[in-house]
Structure 1
Amino acid sequence: MSQPATAPLRRLLRYTTPWRLRIQAASLCSFLNKLFDLAPPLLIGAAVDIVVQRENSWFANWGVVALEDQLALLTFLTVLIWGLESIFEYAFKVLWRNLSQDIQHAARLDAWAHLQKLELAYFERTHSGRIMAVLNDDVNQLERFLDGGANELIQVSTTVIIVGAIFVAASPTIALSAMLPMPLVIYGAFKFQSRLEPLYGEVRERVSRLSSHLANSLGGIATVKSYVSEQYEIEQLDRESQQYKIANAAAIRTSSAFVPVIRMVILVGFCGTLYLGGKMTLDGQLDVGIYSVLIFLTQRLLWPLTRLAETVDQYQRAMASTQRIMDLLDTPVGMVSGTTALKLHPGDGAVRFKDVGFAYTEGHPILRDLNFAIEAKQTVGVVGATGSGKSTLVKLLLRFYDVTDGAISVDGIDLRDADLTDLRRSIGLVSQDVFLFDGTIRENIAYGSFDKSDAEIEQAARFAEAHEFITRLPNGYDTRVGERGQRLSGGQRQRLSIARSILKDPAVLILDEATSAVDNETEAAIQRSLERVAHQRTTVVIAHRLSTVRNADQILVLDQGRLAEQGTHENLLAQNGVYAKLWHVQTGEQTTHDPS
């Protein structure tokens, strides 16, 4: 069911409540600026009246009889009105521009802050390009409307009201003729708005897809080049950009028709004023000065209404963007933090899985009936074939997802009851896919531990055997690593990730395929680092290489989401089951146990 056209505006007004007084002040300045902007036609009419009526002019009726005094008063009023118009123009521009910047900043920050609260599943089902389009394009579109469009709407409305009032006061007959087209103008504006709404919604969607494609291609630029697929990517971008052009063309065709239609409607009112007003003036029923005022005011009414099309166009773009921003802000947070404090220190952190089942999609379970316990300070290996559920287990431990069935506890506290910040601060993760931010080495090691000193950062790097290669870099710890750490080798990135975990000093350490993508020498250095950091901590080692976990206190073997085997390396070899077969495949050693 589609929402009414005014729904985005109502949502925007609710969101901007903290700025209500500033909005009212800016709106008042816009109104006063337009009020004084409409005064010059009255001054022109007064000048004509002085020249024609002389001692019987409007000013003479106010007690200023001498012609020189009337001209002096007219000059004074001209300077005053133009001065006030300029003052209020400066005021509304400053107020609206600062407001647009503040609201733009707040909307982007609020949207980003809300994104931080959303569960991992949201990011896995939502294209990053769509998110970036909301944070950049949509927020900027809202800023552009607040910067100019809001003032334009107020001033057009002010023009219609004031000019209408003057026409009614001067001559109800001419007012009826001049204002008769106005309902058609207003109806046309809303009609065009309703037609533009879905068109601009489609434009914003195409922007999202275009941004998503660009982000995806840039992220895989090495793959693009290695497979010589540059031309293919150009063709893909051309296709997405063409769809964006088509969507925009439909909106442009509709919005461009507005000005000519409105111009012709207003022409009817202008001709009515010109003819009826002129006839009444010739018949002596209307002063020449008032007739002059009405002619000039009709012109002043014409141009703002022709710009109404542009304003409606800008408004509709802004409302389409507002809808998407508010939809993001209204996205429910699926992962609600518990309230139980979880203050773990190295030496704590007993983990228990009890009857744990999990499915990303209902009806397609990934983990089934998992039951095992990890004692505090114990090192446990988790192995299994690809797709057995090893990485899912990591996501559940960090509570990126909640279990579908059963419960996971740390030191007897259900993860769903634990304070989420406490939980994640107590767990360190070193994964195969290391992510480094586009900053310095120092900043990347200290990420998440922002209060650590330079000495502590260096000590963590030494423990991770990273200090030596860091000092050989051009700027040492202040060397920038590039986007995603692309200026460093895989082994160097991995050591920085280990240093980051060491600095965090977690009670529970998770190593997810931490050495699977490095050479043997680097693996040996990383293993030495991991042994240091894992000492006296609860450590979970997710491994593809079984040699990585052969010295673990216990090894869990997953098979199609179930716990197939559990024990030490020697015990599992003796069972001659799943683990023994994996060991045989990786080492080529023949088992000596009877398979029967």
Structure 2
Amino acid sequence: MSHTTDRPLGRLLSYLAGYRRRVLTAGLFSILNKLFDLAPPLLIGAAVDIVVQREASLLSRLGVQDVMLQLYLLAGLSLFVWLMESVFEYLHNLWWRGLAQEVQHDLRVGTYRHVQRQELSFFEERSSGQLLAVLNDDINQLERFLDVGANDIIQVTTTVLAIGGFFVISAPQIAWMALLPMPVIILGSLYYQRLLEPRYRRVRQAVGEISHRLSNNLAGIATIKTFGTERFEAAQLHADSSRYRTENRAAIMVSSGFVPLIRMIIVLGFVGIMVFGGRAALDGGLNVGMYSVLIFMTQRLLWPLTRLGQTFDQYQRAMASSARVFGLLDIEEHLPDGTRSLPRTAGEYQLENVGFAYRTGPSVLHDLSLTIPAGRTTAVVGATGSGKTTLIKLLLRLYDVSTGQVRLDGHDLRDIRFADLYRHTGFVSQDVFLFHGTVFANIAYGLLAHDGVDPSLLDNPGQELLDSGTELRDRVIAAARLAEADDFIRKLPRGYDTIVGERGQKLSGGQRQRVSIARALLKDPAVLILDEATSSVDNETEAAIQRSLEHIAPGRTTIVIAHRLSTIRKADQILVMSEGRLAEQGSHDQLVASGGIYAELWRVQSGQI
């Protein structure tokens, strides 16, 4: 996976421009909260001034002569300050956390939509675990930074500017002692940032490797169990997790040293103010109340800077994650959508001098020209690697041809809108994928993109829906009957409400295949494509699928890739592929009589050899 590592902060700020008003509002609440948080030391200094100076205090000089009235006034002011500090703390937490959740949501959904638009090769060449790590963990890392880190940066900046300005105005002769450590702290923070950046980039990469391993192993848990490789896979995960622990430990060793070093620098400024400010107060050059304020303000100024270590740690983790997220968003490997609307189609395909090669391999199809007539059944057979599945991918426009042209009803597939192409096409893959949910939901899934089905009905349709005679219920059951699936579905523990499990693991291979056919039939497509639909089912299921095809094929363009030739004997035409070329074409009887490749395959499968 390629990564954008240049200026991830700039990319993040550019993305946040769409939330400018909310960022500014949250930032304002952070500033006000910090300003009210800094007020108590001033109030303490005023209280000391009243007790020591009495009628000569600052409030007295402002017109409040009575000492007790000064204290009452100061008490009321303290209540107001604490109230406002609490109000703005609530508001800045509310706004920053809300903003973090909003950005997290929008970025995850937007990135997922971007990933969905990529062509099939994007997924075939990348680890799903790495993609999951970016879509989930990296975006969560950004959310955590916006939730806490952004507020910390604003409040530390506010503290430095407010207290630094107060020191310069109130006690310029000793202000430099408090301000002197600040450049050292800031430069040290920037140095640590540069040290941490490559370390956290490696941490994020290690997280992706763990996610890849877990995703891969959980999907293949049956294989792991049947081969007895649990110990081996646990050792592999242990190695990946140890690598992550090592990379994280290296980053932690650097980041953990930041705060202790900063504390040692800070204490120098604090001690300087305490000693030299105290001498000035003893000599009468500095008001006692002001000396108290300076002591408290020095603590308020310098100690919060120790949080920079934690803040920069969050920042670097967020920047490493930003680089991965925006790197993913920078990838553009999607096929351009067409502009031609196709409200209806007869379903005739024409391939003219088609050549195709995957990006990382040799040519798979060579100068292929053929016609698949509308409303007829066409079978495609051939040895493994002959180009059958690639041909189907081109008909579905999962890839674009390298040379030549594929036309549907005379229109180049590249000109037809994807939505129209897939509205008219039903596809049943050899590797059936069912979603975790009910049988009903998996069949009705075929209507989600085109008929505006309420997705909530698919989560738990309930027996009342199945018994209500609604149009959706009737269409689902009709499709299941066409696919010879209704009988076995009704025998399941909860019928159409039965949960099929992840990838449909609670159903047999033949049951999954028939549910998949029902899903494809539900939208009544003009073109039905079946890729090795009977290659891994038993004879009874094969017979059921054959009966189903006999009912659904008439009047519909049906394209069948078949390994078992017995399933396509009645096809109107059979295309025989060999090494990416059309080797033979004709009906079953014609091809058997011709004595070519197909005849040889038939003799082998029918037991004549």
User: Does structure 2 retain, via aligned residues, the 8 Å contact 1:356–1:403?
Assistant: yes
The within-5 A match list for 1:443-482 is 443-450=441-448, 451=453, 453-482=472-501
SS in 1 for 2:415: coil
Instruction: State yes or no: 1:572 paired with 2:570.
Output: no
Displacement after TM superposition at 1:344 (Å): 2.7
One-letter identity of the residue aligned with 1:153? I
Aligned equivalents of 1:534, 1:8: Cα separation in 2: 54
User: Does structure 2 retain, via aligned residues, the 8 Å contact 1:383–1:390?
Assistant: yes
**In the alignment, which residue of structure 2 is the partner of 1:428?**
426
The within-5 A match list for 1:417-566 is 417-450=415-448, 451=453, 453-566=472-585
**In the alignment, which residue of structure 1 is the partner of 2:47?**
47
SS in 1 for 2:86: helix
One-letter identity of the residue aligned with 1:459? A
One-letter identity of the residue aligned with 1:519? D
Aligned equivalents of 1:364, 1:425: Cα separation in 2: 32
Instruction: State yes or no: 1:113 paired with 2:113.
Output: yes
Aligned equivalents of 1:329, 1:221: Cα separation in 2: 31
For residue 402 of structure 1, the aligned residue among 383, 387, 400 is 400
Unaligned runs of 5+ in 2: 454-470
Aligned equivalents of 2:228, 2:373: Cα separation in 1: 51
Displacement after TM superposition at 1:443 (Å): 0.6
Q: Which of 505-514 and 314-323 deviates more?
A: 314-323
1:415-466, CA deviations, whole angstroms, 9 ceiling, x for partnerless residues?
1111011112211111221110001111100113033610111111111111
Aligned equivalents of 1:209, 1:188: Cα separation in 2: 32
Displacement after TM superposition at 1:154 (Å): 0.8
User: Does structure 1 retain, via aligned residues, the 8 Å contact 2:351–2:368?
Assistant: yes
**In the alignment, which residue of structure 2 is the partner of 1:270?**
270
Q: Which of 198-207 and 444-453 deviates more?
A: 444-453
The within-5 A match list for 1:174-323 is 174-323=174-323
SS in 2 for 1:136: helix
User: Does structure 2 retain, via aligned residues, the 8 Å contact 1:200–1:316?
Assistant: yes
TM-score of the superposition, structure 1-length normalised?
0.96
Change (3 A) 1:350 1:111: same
Q: Which of 321-330 and 60-69 deviates more?
A: 321-330
Aligned equivalents of 2:4, 2:108: Cα separation in 1: 24
Change (3 A) 1:233 1:178: same
**In the alignment, which residue of structure 2 is the partner of 1:375?**
373
Change (3 A) 1:465 1:2: closer
TM-score of the superposition, structure 2-length normalised?
0.94
Unaligned runs of 5+ in 1: 591-596
Displacement after TM superposition at 1:364 (Å): 0.7
Displacement after TM superposition at 1:361 (Å): 2.6
Aligned equivalents of 1:554, 1:511: Cα separation in 2: 15
Displacement after TM superposition at 1:117 (Å): 1.0
**In the alignment, which residue of structure 2 is the partner of 1:388?**
386
1:226-268, CA deviations, whole angstroms, 9 ceiling, x for partnerless residues?
1111100110010000011011011101111110111112122
One-letter identity of the residue aligned with 1:278? G
Displacement after TM superposition at 1:2 (Å): 9.7
Aligned equivalents of 2:251, 2:245: Cα separation in 1: 10
User: Does structure 2 retain, via aligned residues, the 8 Å contact 1:441–1:480?
Assistant: yes
1:80-103, CA deviations, whole angstroms, 9 ceiling, x for partnerless residues?
101110110111111111111111
1:455-489, CA deviations, whole angstroms, 9 ceiling, x for partnerless residues?
11111111111111111122211111111111111
User: Does structure 2 retain, via aligned residues, the 8 Å contact 1:193–1:312?
Assistant: yes
One-letter identity of the residue aligned with 2:209? R
Q: Which of 250-259 and 14-23 deviates more?
A: 14-23
User: Does structure 2 retain, via aligned residues, the 8 Å contact 1:498–1:530?
Assistant: no
Displacement after TM superposition at 1:59 (Å): 0.9
Aligned equivalents of 1:290, 1:533: Cα separation in 2: 92
User: Does structure 1 retain, via aligned residues, the 8 Å contact 2:210–2:241?
Assistant: yes
The within-5 A match list for 1:90-169 is 90-169=90-169
Displacement after TM superposition at 1:571 (Å): 2.1
Displacement after TM superposition at 1:305 (Å): 0.6
Count of equivalent residues: 587
SS in 2 for 1:448: helix
Displacement after TM superposition at 1:362 (Å): 5.5
Structure 1 stretches of 4+ with a deviation exceeding 3 A read 1-5
Aligned equivalents of 1:148, 1:363: Cα separation in 2: 48
Displacement after TM superposition at 1:386 (Å): 0.5
Aligned equivalents of 1:260, 1:433: Cα separation in 2: 57
